[in-house]
Amino acid sequence: MSDQLIDQKTWGERYDATLMNTFGHPKRVLVRGRGADVWDADGNHYTDLLAGLAVHALGHAHPAVIEAISEQAGTLGHISNFFASPPQIMLGERLVALATLDAPGTAARVFFTNSGTEANEAAFKLTRLTGRRRIVAMEGSFHGRTMGALAITHNEHYRAPFEPLPGEIVWVPYGDIEALSRAVDETVAAVVLEPIQGENGVVEPDADFLPAARRITAEHGALLWVDEVQTGLCRCGAWFAHQRSGITPDIITVAKGLANGYPIGACLALGEAADLFGPGQHGTTFGGNPIACAAGCAVLRVMEDEGLAQRSTELGAHLADAVTALDDPRVDTVRGQGLLRGIVLNRPIAAGVADAALDAGWIINAPRPQVLRIAPPLIIAAGQLDDFVRALPGLLDAAQGRA
């Protein structure tokens, strides 16, 4: 039978029979996308307000990315890390330039991976080479699912079945400068934090937290490691969200938005940290492969040419203002920066609202029981956001009706 003729229910049954049950039953089986629009196997249309979890910043099937991937695949698709390729070197140079925008002349180097958790894994190993072992991590954090990244991820439900994890992790409340300054001493290798905690429900610390973290780590010779896997690359209205605080970290990890859905991640190290890894101390077969890097180069070029950091700032403010203007008593506040937004509800009905939204043709998610996350492609039209905001009161009604 042609794949086109198989309905969603049948695909769902085949999924359940075959795929490991790590994600539950799929909400939909999607077959096609363009820009911020996507279609399921039954032909239903959705407006994508989540971008594959803050990934395809340029939307589905962006011509510049298609061209870059196709051309590279037809030229040189994979080598090995015995060799280098021009796209890898060019993407590395571009990331170094972006990471040192506010600190020109600072040394910086990149290690390419295939995912966010691997970027953090590389960073974790890098911190061990300082000769110190202790890591200070934040309550509410999410850094990925491999053993090292899991060790610094706070959610007990994710961690507990897999313990023991790599040790010497000290937890401090996110945003608590006092607690951070008590936790950091000469035994600490690194402090790891997200500029905004996306998985925790788009939680922002006060504006003085990142500068304080920079000061405290510098005082004790500890590295400041900023996980920008979700917040980086224009998502929050700047190339990197931490740049809004005017700080320069020692380690930056990125992934999600870097190649518009083609798997890639990167661990950037700045200053002295740039030279911690030596030959043989880390590696990867696929990381930095020419196709992923060509896709990354195309993404960064479009972001620059189309001013997507600025667009993210403007559309994010537009969305927040529009939701606030609804003046709906069930909406507490809208938080986040750029186009990484959390709509905070005054009751724990977010999962029901996300389900009602999907039924009505909008893809959003509920990272916390009271929080809806909106992280659309950065190229989305303002009108598409407006349509969603107009529908939101009805979706809240529907969720209350279901509860």
The letter for the amino acid at 125 is K
Q: Clarify whether 256 is annotated catalytic.
A: yes
Torsion angles phi and psi, residue 354, rounded to 5: -65, -40
204 binds ligand PLP (CB under 6 A): no
Q: Are 337 and 316 in contact (CB under 8 A)?
A: yes
State the nearest-atom distance from the C-beta of 145 to ligand PLP, in Å: 6
Q: Which stretch binds ligand PLP (CB under 6 A): 28-36, 81-89, 225-233, 325-333?
A: 225-233
Query: 165 is written with which tokens?
Result: 């994890």
115 binds ligand PLP (CB under 6 A): yes
Residues in 161-190 that interact with ligand PLP by CB under 6 A: none
State the nearest-atom distance from the C-beta of 43 to ligand PLP, in Å: 30
Catalytic residue among 37, 40, 48, 227: 227
Catalytic residue among 142, 209, 240, 388: 142
Q: Is 230 annotated as a binding residue?
A: yes
255 binds ligand PLP (CB under 6 A): yes
Q: Are 121 and 130 in contact (CB under 8 A)?
A: no
Total residues in contact with ligand PLP, by rule CB under 6 A = 15
Query: 92 is written with which tokens?
Result: 């590395």
Q: Name which of 229 and 395 has its Cβ closer to ligand PLP.
A: 229
State the nearest-atom distance from the C-beta of 150 to ligand PLP, in Å: 10
Can you tell me which of 37, 40, 121, 194 binds ligand PLP, judged by CB under 6 A? Answer: 194
Query: 131 is written with which tokens?
Result: 């000769």
117 binds ligand PLP (CB under 6 A): yes
State the nearest-atom distance from the C-beta of 375 to ligand PLP, in Å: 10
Half-sphere exposure of 47 (CA within 13 A, CB side): 19
Q: Name which of 6 and 169 has its Cβ closer to ligand PLP.
A: 169
H-run or E-run covering 134: strand 134-138
Q: Name which of 188 and 193 has its Cβ closer to ligand PLP.
A: 193
Q: Are 111 and 122 in contact (CB under 8 A)?
A: yes
Alpha helices in 51-184 (DSSP H): 51-54, 63-73, 86-99, 116-128, 147-151, 156-159, 177-183
Task: Measure Cα distances from 120 to 4, 78, 226 in Å.
Answer: 39, 23, 10
199 binds ligand PLP (CB under 6 A): yes
Q: Which stretch binds ligand PLP (CB under 6 A): 77-85, 114-122, 321-329, 381-389?
A: 114-122
The letter for the amino acid at 394 is G
Can you tell me which of 37, 40, 48, 227 binds ligand PLP, judged by CB under 6 A? Answer: 227
Q: Is 352 annotated as a binding residue?
A: no
State the nearest-atom distance from the C-beta of 185 to ligand PLP, in Å: 26
Q: Is 229 annotated as a binding residue?
A: yes
Q: Name which of 41 and 244 has its Cβ closer to ligand PLP.
A: 244
Q: How many CB atoms lie within 10 A of CB 223?
A: 26
Q: What SS3 class is residue 113?
A: strand
198 binds ligand PLP (CB under 6 A): yes
Query: 48 is written with which tokens?
Result: 């994508």
Q: Is 142 annotated as a binding residue?
A: yes
State the nearest-atom distance from the C-beta of 31 to ligand PLP, in Å: 23
Residues 6+ apart with CB under 8 A from 295: 65, 68, 69, 72, 259, 260, 262, 264
State the nearest-atom distance from the C-beta of 299 to ligand PLP, in Å: 15
Can you tell me which of 229, 276, 299, 389 binds ligand PLP, judged by CB under 6 A? Answer: 229
Among 258, 253, 311, 263, which residue's Cα sits nearest to residue 111? 253
Question: Are β-strands 45-48 and 362-363 bridged in parallel, bridged antiparallel, or unpaired?
Answer: parallel
Q: How many CB atoms lie within 10 A of CB 121?
A: 25
Can you tell me which of 33, 59, 92, 116 binds ligand PLP, judged by CB under 6 A? Answer: 116
142 binds ligand PLP (CB under 6 A): yes
Using only C-alpha atoms, what is the Rg of the chain? 21
Rounded CA-CA distance 297/95 in Å is: 9
Q: Are 259 and 292 in contact (CB under 8 A)?
A: yes
230 binds ligand PLP (CB under 6 A): yes
Show binding-site residues.
116-117, 142, 145, 227-230, 284-285
The residues of the shown chain that bind ligand PLP, judged by CB under 6 A, are 115-117, 120, 142-144, 194, 198-199, 227, 229-230, 255-256
Show binding-site residues for N(2)-acetyl-L-ornithine.
145, 284
Residues classed as catalytic: 142, 227, 256
